[in-house]
């Protein structure tokens, strides 16, 4: 009954002066809700989230319908921007609040109601002269003001000229209308308006029984334009209550009006309003109302519970003495009665031919409209569009691809969104008289490439496919077969082979955060609970394809108890402790959200379908976005990636973005790399045998999901075929890590043999070609043999029938309309066998069929579909077998990926000449002849200059590095961080030797860039990153700072730079190893007073006017930056360079360079200190002890104030 409730509320709003309009122009948005299906409820929540952006202080959002009864005021707390929660039927108080809020001043001109669809609303009366004791309208709208008849008619005529087909005359008591110029009442106005050419319908509302004239009823009865619908509020069926309401009539008068109307128009539609629970309404009074409703058989009854309205007579003088529970009982009782009557009266129209004014299309895109009696009529949708809407209802938030023949079609708003993304033409199809529906389409055999574009754009995609063969004259059954989202897709065409594709749910509670990261394409679910301030960095590391966080996902869904239940119900994990999550309740809650989301999107999950583990963020080094950018980690990953398999590439990338923080684990990984590096033959052989393994991890996951094609199952079999060779090669390794990984690799020989027996070696891409080997399935072979025999019989039929009939030109043919036939020309007409049945007459002959031919034809034509169906069943069975083996296969794939990553590190070390570092639990960082791997790679061979580095929190904690631009300071800083990162990943490093004291985090503040989208200048970005470092670094951190303070004035920059160095040196919780590159040579003086600060510089060789950068770092500070020389090398015009030298010389003459020990004494003029001045003016010798003591207290008071 939601549509009826909507109409009831809409009618009240129309009477109050509101008209339907677009959301952008609206003042009020009202959601009428349904909770029959979860999808409907979810759509309401989604819409409420959308309306949050629309909401302003002047706009109102209200919600009514079934969801109010289910959730009630709880909705207000969940959605603070929701202004009103309106119970079903209790609309009067809400409308009254709106009238009070959006008030019209008494002197304001009457507003035009405006156009909605095919209807145009014209207000003819503003205000009300009646004084019903319950009504607020006279107070809010004032006395009646009548629009001149000529103006009303002119507006109606213009509306019809503009395309309106219906005009609705509005007024609180429209039948009280009187033309101010003496042109008559409402009957006269209706006569004038109905004469307008092109007007199809004329309605008016709302009428007052006291003012209704017989003349108006006669006009209605005689007109072909005026609707035979009368909206006549009775309000109560009891005369005592009507008197207390001051309605001005009794029930006998009301009955007489209805009797007269039905005498003139037997089929008139009668609509009324009733208030239950009015002050003083006894049970007998209510029963009188009930009896009146039953007697008069209204088509529609709008029922409201009485609620006192401020400023009304009833609110001020009458006690609201009917209990709320009793009002609600009467309302529900009357609702049930009126709906039963309405249903019976509607049934009387079934089978009658009526004229319908089409007003639009509903959510099923079915045309709807009204007959003259006001009843709404919906023209049934086609069966195909019903299927479309059913699929749309299940997944309202996705782009729906709907299979029609050889295409997937996309309709309506989905088409407008999808067409430009997919790069296809947006077209349309006709929708009767109401316009055209936007649409676009893609070939069904190429859908994956188009869907990939939608997924990469962040959209959810729903595939509604044909789930049975097409049969002539029957609507093929369709259903949603796939739901694809960026984070749940498993097809190889979407995720990059070398990158993970995480679906992540994350939330925070207090100072803690929990996340669950699911890689559906590999079958992995990871849980992590961590400090809330580290969540952004962890999300940056995971780089989720899809992120589920509040408020997009309601926070109650993250409840840990709920998550624990989901783990048990879906994955069979009864206790979080079994996956290491006993102390991670927030992560368990996030896992529940992920599992819910996977089920909602038809991802196939169950016990064993996901490998679940819990990891600690403290086990690895957190790398923030600035560090990833400054150290160019993607390029570094490409440099060391020598993997043979996609799973190995993903594992290596994971290691590089999460370096280890455990010395033992690092050394075990280094030992495995060292062993492979020392055995070139084993290394090269292992690389070769790994290549055929392919992406075993994702092949297994796709098979377990039931989405593998025959080609992918063959690839899986080839991957499994390659495993024994991998096992044999690993048998030559003795490193502990390698042996442990080798033990996890299993070959699944039975599954391999099954796939080999079942599938041909190279399955074709076409869906109509055979993929199952002959002899594997008896049923399939029987279908194939029968088809082959039938085709052979048909091939021989022509010769056989020629011999049988003696007609030499007889032909056997085939077309797609009639199938197989026997054709005989008219020139060869002669008696034919009795089993020849004429099928078609042609100009030159006749076509016949025989019963045996039709039976054989059926075998041939159905064979292809039967073969395809049987092969699909076999493929599904094979996928089920793979799914049953998925846990062990997944473990094998992951172990092979780690082995491949270790091998890649060994290959990179051999190729680049890297050495094994020593990683220990200390804090010393000592690098001999270190190199930057990326810069070395791009430089000519042998040209890169290596440098040493020594940092120790107890000795050389901070190195202040000075030197010219382009001399290599930034390279020196970055290479130190890169070497530490590589070492803690378990990789060899580009250095002669390296001793790496374990580092908990690497912080970098390098380079200049702004963040315009966040409104941050270059200097603000620099300061923000520096602040983050000073807040989060520890004694075990490595801090790289390049040119801190350069984005502002010199004095400000030097001051900030010096303060940062001092803070890093002196702060008790810091004392971290720091490289600080700067052009502020004044900072070199800090080494003389801060014991753990050391000066180093990049050496420069000057020879006359030429300068040569040696790129060698040596002890000591620089005194020049050689900026003009760098500018000349960069190609600035010679005139600019010459002028710069002149300006520099002039500046140096004005302020010659000071020795280092004086350079920190910056000539900053400070404002005079009044206390100092007063203190200098005191003569202590002239003061008595008491005066001196008093003066001291005075100075102290001034100081503290």
Residue-by-residue DSSP string for 389-430: HHHHHH-TTSEEEEEETTEEEEEHHHHHHHHHHHT---EEEE
Model confidence at 113, in pLDDT bands (50, 70, 90)? very low
* Of 235-249, 648-662, 1084-1098, 1126-1140, minimum mean pLDDT range: 1126-1140
- Chain mean position to CA 586: 22
pLDDT average, residue stretch 1168-1173 = 68
Would you state the pLDDT for residue 1164?
35
Please enumerate in sequence order all residues whose Cβ is within 8 A of that of 575, keeping only pairs 6 or more positions apart, or say none.
582
pLDDT average, residue stretch 209-227 = 91
Model confidence at 23, in pLDDT bands (50, 70, 90)? confident
Residue-wise pLDDT for 1017-1043, tens only, equals: 677 777 878 888 888 899 999 999 988
CA distance 972 to 965: 13
Give the rounded percent of residues in the chain with a pLDDT score beyond 90.
41
Residue 73: burial class (beta carbons within 10 Å; 0-12, 13-18, 19+): exposed
| Cα-based distances in Å from 449 to 103, 444, 452, 1007, 1020 | 56, 11, 5, 39, 43
Residue-wise pLDDT for 517-565, tens only, equals: 999 989 999 999 999 988 998 999 999 999 999 888 888 899 999 999 9
List the chain domain ranges: 1-102, 382-484, 498-619, 622-748+885-912, 778-874, 917-1158, 1170-1200
Model confidence at 365, in pLDDT bands (50, 70, 90)? low
The top-level CATH class assigned to 498-619 is alpha beta
Q: Is a pLDDT exceeding 90 seen at residue 1187?
A: no
Would you state the pLDDT for residue 1161?
36
Looking at 444-588, which runs of residues are DSSP E strands? 461-466, 478-484, 503-509, 512-519, 524-531, 546-548
Residue-wise pLDDT for 432-447, tens only, equals: 444 567 889 999 888 8
Q: Exposed e or buried b for every residue in 353-372, given b needs 16+ CB within 10 A?
A: eeebbbbebeebbbbbbbbb
CA distance 893 to 888: 9
Would you state the pLDDT for residue 17?
61
Q: Is a pLDDT exceeding 50 seen at residue 1156?
A: no
Q: Do domains 622-748+885-912 and 778-874 have the same CATH topology?
A: yes
Q: Is a pLDDT exceeding 70 seen at residue 793?
A: yes
3-state helix, strand, coil in the chain (%, to 5): 45, 20, 35
Q: Is a pLDDT exceeding 80 seen at residue 360?
A: no
138 with 127: CB under 8 angstroms?
yes
Residue-wise pLDDT for 755-784, tens only, equals: 999 998 888 865 566 888 998 988 888 888
Would you state the pLDDT for residue 817?
73
Nearest to 415 by CA among 430, 433, 402, 432: 402
What is the model's pTM? 0.69
Q: Is a pLDDT exceeding 80 seen at residue 381?
A: no
Nearest to 141 by CA among 288, 16, 272: 16
Nearest to 486 by CA among 603, 574, 336: 603
Phi and psi torsions of 274, nearest 5° = -135, 135
Q: Is a pLDDT exceeding 50 seen at residue 1154?
A: no
Residue 145: burial class (beta carbons within 10 Å; 0-12, 13-18, 19+): middle
- Chain mean position to CA 58: 29
Token pair recorded at residue 816: 């797609």
Q: Is a pLDDT exceeding 90 seen at residue 296?
A: yes
Give the DSSP letter string of 1142-1168.
Answer: HHHHHHHHHSPPPPGGGTTS--PPPPP
CATH code, 622-748+885-912: 1.10.1420.10
pLDDT average, residue stretch 607-612 = 88
Model confidence at 1, in pLDDT bands (50, 70, 90)? very low
Residue-wise pLDDT for 1108-1139, tens only, equals: 778 899 998 876 666 777 777 677 887 877 78
Model confidence at 72, in pLDDT bands (50, 70, 90)? low
The top-level CATH class assigned to 917-1158 is alpha beta
The top-level CATH class assigned to 1-102 is alpha beta
Please enumerate in sequence order all residues whose Cβ is within 8 A of that of 685, keeping only pairs 6 or more positions apart, or say none.
729
Model confidence at 1200, in pLDDT bands (50, 70, 90)? low
Give the DSSP letter string of 910-970.
Answer: HHHT-BPPEEESS--EEEEEE--HHHHHHSPTT----EEEEE-TTSS-EEEEE--TTSSHH
Would you state the pLDDT for residue 435?
54
CA distance 79 to 45: 9
CA distance 91 to 17: 15
CA distance 529 to 539: 12
Instruction: State which fold the 382-484 domain adopts.
Output: MutS, DNA mismatch repair protein, domain I (3.40.1170)
Q: Is a pLDDT exceeding 50 seen at residue 734?
A: yes
CA distance 1087 to 1064: 13
Nearest to 925 by CA among 762, 814, 1073, 781: 1073
Integer-rounded Cα Rg, in Å, for the chain is 42
223 with 194: CB under 8 angstroms?
yes
pLDDT average, residue stretch 1097-1118 = 80
pLDDT average, residue stretch 471-493 = 83
Instruction: State which fold the 778-874 domain adopts.
Output: MutS, DNA mismatch repair protein; Chain A, domain 3 (1.10.1420)
Residue-wise pLDDT for 940-962, tens only, equals: 888 899 999 999 999 899 999 98
Highest mean pLDDT, choosing among 121-135, 351-365, 1165-1179, 1182-1196: 121-135
Q: Is a pLDDT exceeding 50 seen at residue 115?
A: no
Token pair recorded at residue 161: 């000229």
């Amino acid at each position: 009954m939601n549509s009826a409730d909507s109409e009831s509320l809409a009618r009240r709003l129309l009477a109050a002066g509101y008209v339907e309009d677009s959301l952008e122009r609206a003042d009020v948005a009202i959601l009428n809700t349904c909770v029959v299906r979860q999808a409907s409820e979810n759509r309401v929540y989604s819409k409420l989230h959308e309306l949050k952006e629309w909401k302003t202080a002047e706009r109102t959002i209200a919600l009514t319908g079934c969801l109010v009864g289910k959730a009630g005021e709880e909705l207000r707390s969940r959605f603070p921007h929701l202004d009103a929660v309106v119970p079903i039927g209790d609309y009067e108080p809400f409308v009254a609040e709106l009238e009070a809020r959006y008030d019209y001043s008494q002197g304001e001109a009457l507003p035009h109601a405006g156009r909605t669809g095919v209807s145009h609303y014209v207000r003819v009366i503003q205000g009300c002269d009646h004084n019903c004791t319950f009504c607020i309208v006279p107070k809010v709208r004032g006395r009646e003001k009548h629009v001149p008849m000529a103006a009303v008619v002119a507006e109606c005529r213009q509306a019809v000229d503009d395309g309106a087909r219906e005009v609705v005359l509005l007024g609180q008591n429209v039948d009280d209308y009187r033309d101010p110029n003496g042109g008559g009442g409402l009957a006269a106005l209706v006569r004038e308006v109905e004469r307008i050419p092109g007007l199809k319908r004329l309605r008016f509302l709302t009428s007052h029984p006291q003012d209704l004239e017989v003349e108006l009823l006669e006009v209605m009865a005689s007109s072909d334009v005026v609707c035979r619908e009368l909206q006549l509020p009775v309000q109560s069926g009891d005369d005592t209550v009507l008197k207390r309401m001051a309605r001005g009539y009794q029930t006998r008068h009301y009955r007489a009006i209805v009797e007269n109307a039905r005498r003139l128009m037997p089929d008139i539609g009668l609509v009324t309003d009733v208030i239950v629970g009015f002050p003083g309404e006894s049970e007998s009074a209510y029963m009188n109302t009930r009896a009146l409703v039953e007697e008069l058989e209204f088509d529609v009854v709008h029922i409201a519970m009485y609620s006192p309205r401020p400023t009304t007579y009833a609110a001020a003088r009458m006690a609201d003495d009917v209990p709320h529970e009793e009002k609600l009982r009467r309302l529900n009782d009357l609702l049930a009665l009126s709906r039963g009557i309405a249903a019976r009266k509607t049934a009387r129209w079934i089978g009658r031919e009526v004229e319908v004014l089409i007003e639009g299309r509903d959510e099923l895109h079915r045309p709807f409209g009204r007959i003259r009696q006001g009843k709404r009529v919906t023209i049934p949708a086609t069966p195909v569009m019903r299927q479309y809407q059913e699929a749309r209802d299940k997944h309202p938030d996705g782009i729906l691809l709907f299979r029609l023949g050889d295409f997937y079609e996309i309709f309506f708003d989905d088409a407008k969104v999808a067409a430009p993304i997919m790069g296809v033409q947006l077209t349309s199809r006709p929708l009767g008289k109401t316009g055209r529906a936007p649409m676009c389409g893609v070939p069904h055999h190429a859908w994956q490439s188009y869907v990939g574009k939608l997924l990469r754009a962040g959209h959810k995609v729903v595939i509604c496919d044909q789930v049975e063969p097409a049969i002539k004259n029957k609507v093929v059954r369709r259903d949603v077969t796939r739901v694809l989202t960026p984070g749940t897709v498993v097809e190889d065409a979407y995720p990059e082979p070398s990158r993970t594709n995480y679906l992540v749910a994350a939330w925070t509670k207090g100072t803690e955060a929990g996340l669950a990261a699911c890689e559906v394409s590999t079958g992995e679910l990871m849980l992590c609970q961590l400090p809330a301030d580290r969540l952004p960095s962890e999300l940056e590391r995971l780089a989720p394809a899809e992120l589920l966080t509040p408020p997009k996902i309601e926070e109650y869904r993250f409840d840990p108890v709920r998550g624990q239940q989901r783990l048990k119900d879906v994955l069979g994990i009864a206790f979080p402790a079994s996956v290491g999550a006993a102390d991670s309740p927030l992560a368990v809650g996030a896992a529940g959200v992920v599992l819910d989301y996977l089920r909602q999107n038809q991802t196939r999950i169950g016990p064993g379908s996901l490998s679940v583990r819990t990891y600690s963020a403290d086990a690895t080094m957190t790398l923030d976005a600035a560090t990833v950018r400054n150290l160019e980690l993607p390029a570094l990953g490409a440099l060391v990636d020598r993997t043979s398999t996609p799973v190995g590439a993903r594992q290596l990338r994971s290691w590089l973005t999460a370096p280890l923080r455990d010395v033992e684990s690092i050394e075990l990984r280094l030992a495995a790399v060292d062993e492979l590096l020392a055995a070139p033959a084993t290394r090269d052989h292992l690389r070769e045998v790994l290549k055929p393994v392919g992406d075993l991890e994702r092949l297994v996951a796709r098979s377990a999901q039931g989405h593998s094609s025959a080609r992918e199952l063959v690839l899986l079999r080839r991957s499994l075929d390659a495993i024994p060779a991998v096992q044999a090669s690993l048998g030559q390794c003795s490193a502990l890590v390698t042996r442990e990984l080798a033990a996890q690799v299993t070959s699944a020989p039975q599954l391999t043999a099954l796939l080999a027996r079942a599938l041909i070696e190279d399955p074709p891409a076409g869906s109509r070609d055979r993929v199952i080997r002959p002899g594997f399935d008896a049923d399939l072979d029987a279908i194939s043999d029968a088809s082959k025999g039938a085709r052979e019989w048909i091939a021989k039929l022509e010769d056989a029938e020629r011999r049988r009939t003696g007609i030499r030109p007889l032909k056997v043919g085939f077309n797609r309309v009639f199938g197989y036939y026997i054709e005989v020309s008219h020139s060869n007409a002669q008696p034919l066998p009795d089993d020849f049945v004429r099928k078609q007459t042609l100009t030159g002959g006749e076509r016949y069929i025989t019963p045996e031919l039709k039976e054989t034809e059926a075998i041939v034509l159905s064979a292809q579909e039967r073969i395809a169906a049987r092969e699909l069943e076999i493929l599904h069975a094979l996928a089920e077998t793979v799914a049953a083996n998925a846990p062990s296969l997944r473990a094998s794939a992951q172990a092979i990926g780690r082995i491949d990553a270790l091998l890649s590190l060994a290959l990179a070390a051999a190729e680049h000449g890297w050495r094994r570092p020593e990683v220990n639990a200390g804090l010393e960082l000592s690098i001999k002849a270190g190199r930057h791997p990326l810069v070395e790679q791009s430089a000519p061979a042998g040209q890169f200059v290596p440098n040493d580095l020594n940092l120790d929190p107890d000795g050389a904690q901070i190195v202040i590095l000075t030197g010219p631009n382009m001399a290599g300071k930034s390279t020196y800083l970055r290479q130190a961080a890169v070497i530490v990162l590589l070492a803690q990943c378990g990789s060899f490093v580009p250095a002669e030797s390296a001793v790496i004291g374990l580092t908990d985090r690497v912080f970098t503040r390098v380079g200049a860039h702004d963040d315009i989208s966040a409104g941050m200048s270059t200097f603000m970005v620099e300061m923000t990153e520096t602040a983050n470092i000073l807040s989060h670094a520890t004694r075990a951190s490595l801090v790289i700072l390049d040119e801190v303070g350069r984005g502002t004035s010199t004095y400000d920059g030097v001051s900030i730079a010096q303060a940062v160095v001092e803070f890093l040196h002196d702060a008790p919780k810091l004392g971290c190893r720091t490289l600080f590159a700067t052009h502020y040579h004044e900072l070199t003086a800090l080494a003389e007073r801060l014991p753990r600060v050391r000066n180093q510089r990049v050496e420069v060789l000057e020879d006359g006017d030429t300068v040569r950068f040696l790129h060698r770092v040596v002890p000591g500070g620089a005194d020049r930056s050689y900026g003009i020389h760098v500018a000349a090398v960069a190609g600035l015009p010679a005139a600019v360079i010459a002028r710069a030298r002149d300006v520099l010389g002039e500046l140096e003459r004005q302020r010659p360079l000071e020795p280092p020990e004086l350079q920190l004494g910056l000539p900053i003029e400070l404002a005079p200190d009044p206390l100092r001045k007063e203190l200098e003016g005191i003569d202590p010798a002239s003061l008595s002890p008491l005066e001196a003591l008093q003066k001291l207290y005075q100075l102290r008071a001034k100081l503290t104030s």
